[in-house]
Structure 1
């Protein structure tokens, strides 16, 4: 613990004893072994006074420092092999300036510190040297994240591009995620290994990502790893090599950093506009395949040709899968929602008050009640958002139709294109014909059809029913079935038995549909002739007279 930190703890202990136990100044001095001045400072201020900087002591070299600086500045324009060394500067100070009281050690220490400062003051910075490296096929790879900007469902969004690059061939596999958390880190690896058909036999280079590293243990490559990352790399047989922290390790995985820059400049310009991350990742897969035709630097072959040589040398994949998602067990609140990572997601309202299991992945999440999946959502980016599925609230809205028009699930369904203008027109006509409550209930019954039928077929049924004024859920269901049968190439339903209805409409009503599906009736028409015999009047002689 540093001196400043220990003094802060001492001040806090003194204030606590004074405030809670009412200890006097003299008692505080005796307990903590300090003087009255320290007690007074602790009671007056929360933070210790910063240590006063020590005044630099003058040395015998001070009068000659400007001369040494001038020699170092002159070296900036001199040939590299004809620049001053510390020994040459010391000799010149003795011969030309008579600096007899200056030692060589003093000059050497000053030159070692001052030479780099002079370069930086001139805007040159420290000299950088890059040594070419050779990589064996199938031996090494590099992994990193880079941020990209996209337009997701009409909204400018920042996403994260995962990249795994084989060092020998330069073959890279990319994946776009909503975050760069541990779920994305794991899923990016799994996707890359499956695309490559294996993984390197040697090391994979990483920087100090929080998804893998909990703590850097000094200026070495030793790391305190995240427990899930240790289990993941053990399952796949990954041998990690962590880059040095800070600027010293910035060059150690330059291949993947350059690859991310190339991929971003060539495929994310102009900014992609997509409806979902799944759509964008389909494009990314195609771009990865197309990039196999490019050449890197002065190589004689393409990336794909080098990868064809490298792929057989990769190590095989394990037979058992590894669950990359993270499990949560939230409780469903009274709004039919669960909270995961500071965002809210809807579930069927029948689960209100129950504890469910949530499997969170990088781009989506699934909700389970026991072993049954009850909901699936695309993962939200950021915090404090909500993603609500209108279908989850339909049973509650049947009982409370007045809450339907202003509901948040309805607004999100409109934004996502699931609640179309066709729905609105049919709903408005149904309310005008049956009243607000009954018309809204009819619409909710139509929305329930989407659990058993395709959304497009239901919309087609709504449009057909609205054209002829058929404002019941039964009529919409029949027209949706007709649209589905037409798409599948099946025969159209038989004509209705009521010609008057069929004359001005192409909509099949429920009664007609039921009659059309009955088997043909070959029985003769009934006759009432036997009953007519009872109507023949008997002769008067046969009638018995009454009293």
Structure 2
């Protein structure tokens, strides 16, 4: 044999012996073949992985036509400083998408069925519409009956307690009754603390609302939205069916939007077939379910109460706005009751002020009648007093006439002092009559008010238009001669 061939044969024999020994060793108990980690080479795309991941996830929520291509993403990160090649970005995105496809995204669920009148489901959603000329973010309350599938939508600026209570009151009234149970997620306005399993520390005010309406609240497990999947699907359906149209319109205020939402909800009941009984509409099944619902009591007084201190300018602060109260409560602590659209200030269980709630910021809302007692001692404040700029136009005109003369501020203070006594309407009528004379005065206004004390008939007489003379009387001096020629009686003829 040639020496070279002999050397190759010896090498093959040695390799077989080594392989045999390795096989025998691996067959021994407790011995495994060593595995070496895959070699990971640094890539220029690694620094941009987080950016690309967030971009791809965002595109997953967009329509197909609006999603960015790989080349568009490459150009985007290249403008931000990426120095690698386009091929590296392509390979990275391909691997990311393959990993997402292999991940388990869909789980199996048990179909749910509810008896008529058994339960309703509640949830919030975030929507954007144009209200008051601005594009605003609104929180929409979805209340849906689990059996008939009838639903009700109400839009609010937030998800606070008073809005949650108001949403329930409106929904129960519109749906015609109250089911025996309510299904919720673990929202902070209802659950103070989530315990083990189904244990929940329920908010006291939320529990008071449930006790008022006599239904039992039930809460889903954390991250288990499928347990109230009927209302979860309602959020998606209403975005395609209702909010697409709402976003194309312009709304003057929330009241107009909610009125339209109520009409659309009722229209959808009549148009939508029931998923379990396709021959019937949601409105028809709702009629059957309303007979199984508990009757609606008076609405729950769902305010949120907090204490506020009145400033030296008779203002209270709430959510970066200021609201006036009567000046007699300066430096006192009052109770503020917050409703979805109203703020009520209470002192010793008596309402002392009421304002329309504003969700703007850094605004001041005055009620000029709150400052009438104060200007009796400080009449000079009438000239530049901010609250009195909101007086009716008639009183502002009267004030301009009076302030032209010395002591006019004191005279105007006397006129305003009559408002708590005689009422605003009577003072306005008296001010109009005084202005018609051209030289108004406090005595004139108070004199007219004194004549108006008798009641409404005198008020109507004074407010009637002045009669117009249609035919001028003729001067007839001959009538005096006829009177002189009148024959006298016999008694008058005697001397």
Shared topology, TM-score over 0.5? Answer: yes
Match in the other structure for 1:295? 272
Q: Which runs of 5+ in 2 are unaligned?
A: 1-33, 41-93, 470-495
Match in the other structure for 2:202? 225
SS at match of 1:180: coil
**Superposed displacement of residue 212, structure 1:** 0.7
| RMSD between superposed Cα atoms in Å | 4.7
Q: 2:131 aligns with which of 144, 151, 169?
A: 151
SS at match of 1:380: coil
Quick check: 391-400 or 294-303, which moved more? Answer: 294-303
Q: 2:438 aligns with which of 461, 469, 475?
A: 469
Pair 1:382–1:421, CA change in 2 (3 A): closer
Pair 1:120–1:350, CA change in 2 (3 A): same
**Superposed displacement of residue 347, structure 1:** 1.4
Alignment check: 8 A CA contact 2:402 2:409 kept: no
Alignment check: 8 A CA contact 1:427 1:443 kept: no
SS at match of 1:190: helix
Match in the other structure for 1:106? none
Match in the other structure for 2:473? none
Match in the other structure for 1:190? 169
Q: Which runs of 5+ in 1 are unaligned?
A: 1-57, 65-114, 414-418, 497-501, 506-547
Q: 2:343 aligns with which of 365, 375, 383?
A: 365
Match in the other structure for 1:519? none
In the alignment, does 2:432 pair up with 1:452? no
TM alignment of 1:372-451, pairs within 5 A: 372-381=350-359, 385-410=363-388, 413=390, 419-433=391-405, 436-438=408-410, 440-441=412-413, 444-445=416-417, 448=419
Match in the other structure for 1:70? none
**Superposed displacement of residue 394, structure 1:** 1.6
Quick check: 127-136 or 355-364, which moved more? Answer: 127-136
TM alignment of 1:69-80, pairs within 5 A: none
Match in the other structure for 1:239? 216
Match in the other structure for 2:60? none
Deviations 1:423-465 (A, max 9, x none): 443332232255552464366357x2697244xx765665554
Alignment check: 8 A CA contact 1:356 1:369 kept: yes
1: CA distance between counterparts of 2:189 and 2:330?
A: 34
Match in the other structure for 1:529? none
Match in the other structure for 1:141? 120
TM alignment of 1:514-533, pairs within 5 A: none
Q: 1:207 aligns with which of 169, 185, 193?
A: 185
SS at match of 1:356: strand
Q: 1:254 aligns with which of 232, 238, 245?
A: 232
Pair 1:198–1:127, CA change in 2 (3 A): closer
Deviations 1:155-187 (A, max 9, x none): 776543323111232322333444311122123
**Superposed displacement of residue 349, structure 1:** 0.6
Pair 1:227–1:479, CA change in 2 (3 A): same
Alignment check: 8 A CA contact 2:274 2:281 kept: no
**Superposed displacement of residue 311, structure 1:** 0.5
Alignment check: 8 A CA contact 1:362 1:379 kept: yes
Match in the other structure for 1:518? none
Alignment check: 8 A CA contact 1:177 1:184 kept: yes
Match in the other structure for 1:355? 333
Return the structure number with greater relative CO, CA threshold 8 A, min gap 6.
2
Deviations 1:462-506 (A, max 9, x none): 55543442523565678899999999998625999xxxxx8999x
Alignment check: 8 A CA contact 1:162 1:176 kept: yes
**Superposed displacement of residue 273, structure 1:** 0.2
TM alignment of 1:104-143, pairs within 5 A: 118-120=97-99, 126-127=105-106, 134-143=113-122
Q: 2:148 aligns with which of 166, 169, 175?
A: 169
Alignment check: 8 A CA contact 1:169 1:303 kept: yes
SS at match of 2:461: coil
Alignment check: 8 A CA contact 1:206 1:242 kept: yes
Alignment check: 8 A CA contact 1:143 1:256 kept: no
SS at match of 1:376: strand
2: CA distance between counterparts of 1:485 and 1:178?
A: 48
SS at match of 2:144: strand
Deviations 1:313-340 (A, max 9, x none): 1134468x75422333434332223345
In the alignment, does 2:288 pair up with 1:309? yes
Alignment check: 8 A CA contact 2:179 2:294 kept: yes
Pair 1:325–1:487, CA change in 2 (3 A): same
2: CA distance between counterparts of 1:464 and 1:337?
A: 34
SS at match of 2:291: helix
SS at match of 2:399: helix
Pair 1:347–1:495, CA change in 2 (3 A): closer
Alignment check: 8 A CA contact 2:412 2:442 kept: no
2: CA distance between counterparts of 1:366 and 1:392?
A: 14
**Superposed displacement of residue 193, structure 1:** 2.3
Deviations 1:510-543 (A, max 9, x none): xxxxxxxxxxxxxxxxxxxxxxxxxxxxxxxxxx
